[in-house]
Amino acid sequence: MSTFNFSNDPFADPTIAAATNQNVSNNGLEDYNPFANQPTQNPDPFSPVSIDPPTAVLSPTNTVQQTNNVQPKPVYNQQPASTANNLTAEQLRQRQEELDRRAAELAAREAELNRAQRLTTRENNFPPLPSFFPCKPCFYQDINVEIEIDFQNIVRQVYQLWLFYSLSLFINFVGCLAALVDGYDNGFGMFLFSLISIFIFSPLAFLFWFRPLYKAFRDDSSFNFMVFFFVFFCQLVMSVFWALGFPGTGAIGLFTTIGIMAKDTSVLFRLISIICTVVFICYSVASLYILLKVRGIYSNSSASFEKAQAEFTTKVLSNERVQQMASSAAQTAARETMNQTFRQQGNNSSSGFRY
């Protein structure tokens, strides 16, 4: 049995192994195998063959950890600059509209709060009289507080129309005064009528067609609408007569101005008469416009004649003064009826049969 020790193999020496391989490579062409040193190919002809060596794919996290100085490239928007600017302008416009809407809502809420606070403490403020005047204001009037925002414009227009009506009466007074000074026929009567109209018609117009319209929009009252339409229509008819200037109306209108021009009068009186005519015509046209405008608002609202009747029944007839007057009138009528009955019975008993 051999006692050869494989640990002392002489061919395991690297020098000897290199020499042996060199000898083999230096052999002749007969022992040369051209396929001996070629890499092994994939035995499967249908499997994919990788031509290029595989590249290592590193995640962004590992790349950042390995190279601390290298940062990932930012991703830029591929959208054109003009489109981005258009979108930005559209967004700004929408935000501005939203801010304007919120500001309008806040202003409306603040106005409502101020209105509610003013309603709690109300003092009469119309007509505006000085503090030293012996008379005090009779009404509380504040369009911004008592009237809704949708109807404040029409109420202001009606109030301005009442002021214009008072101005037209004053101008007519000046014209009638000029007629009295110039010696025009019936100048004194015209002057007296114009003076009375200023102190009577102007306050009555405020009480009987402006205040009913004010209360109609304040309380949504159909009854006050009816009162306004009736009185204001009569006022419109009278203003048309004044604008035409029929004799006996006490106003310097169209026909009166034509008569003044035909006579030998002063230039100042003619000029004043023309101004009076123009003012009355403008007032008539403005009154017709206001009447039609209020009529349109009334037709689009919930007011009606039946509602006016119900308000008259519930408010007017339920008033304590009206009830007292009605009860006193009924008691008086019943007392008179009983007295007449007793008188008739007494007459019948006195005219009986005599024996």
Please write down the HEC assignment for all residues of the chain. Answer: CCCCCHHHCHHHCHHHHHHHHHHHHCCCCCCCCCCCCCCCCCCCCCCCCCCCCCCCCCCHHHHHHHCCCCCCCCCCCCCCHHHHHHHHHHHHHHHHHHHHHHHHHHHHHHHHHHHHHHHHCCCCCECCCCCCCCCCCCECCCHHHHCCHHHHHHHHHHHHHHHHHHHHHHHHHHHHHHHHHHCCCCHHHHHHHHHHHHHHHHHHHHHHHHHHHHHHHHHCCHHHHHHHHHHHHHHHHHHHHHHHCCCCCCCCCHHHHHHHHHCCCCHHHHHHHHHHHHHHHHHHHHHHHHHHHHHHHHHHCCCCHHHHHHHHHHHHCCCHHHHHHHHHHHHHHHHHHHHHHHHHHHHHHHCCCCC
Please write down the HEC assignment for all residues of 180-223. Answer: HHHCCCCHHHHHHHHHHHHHHHHHHHHHHHHHHHHHHHHHCCHH
| Two tokens, residue 195 | 């003076």
Provide the pLDDT for residue 40: 52
Q: How far is 35 from 227, CA to CA, in rounded Å?
A: 124
Provide the pLDDT for residue 21: 54
Provide the pLDDT for residue 2: 47
Provide the pLDDT for residue 274: 93
Provide the pLDDT for residue 279: 95
- Considering only CA atoms, which of 231, 225, 227, 223 is closest in space to residue 314? 223
Give the residues of the chain that fall short of pLDDT 70: 1-87, 115-121, 302-305, 307-323, 326, 342, 345-355
Q: What angle in degrees, to the nearest 10, is found between the helix axes of 267-300 and 254-262?
A: 170
Residue 155 contacts residue 147 (beta carbons within 8 Å): yes
The amino acid occupying position 135 is C
Tell me the residue length of the chain: 355
Token look-up 């004053």 returns 170
pLDDT digits (tens, 9 = 90+) for 107-163: 888 877 776 666 556 777 787 877 787 888 888 888 888 888 888 999 999 999 999
| Two tokens, residue 31 | 């022992």
Q: How far is 345 from 120, CA to CA, in rounded Å?
A: 62
Provide the pLDDT for residue 292: 93
Q: How far is 196 from 66, CA to CA, in rounded Å?
A: 107
| Two tokens, residue 311 | 């308000």
Peptide bond into 45 cis (omega under 30): no
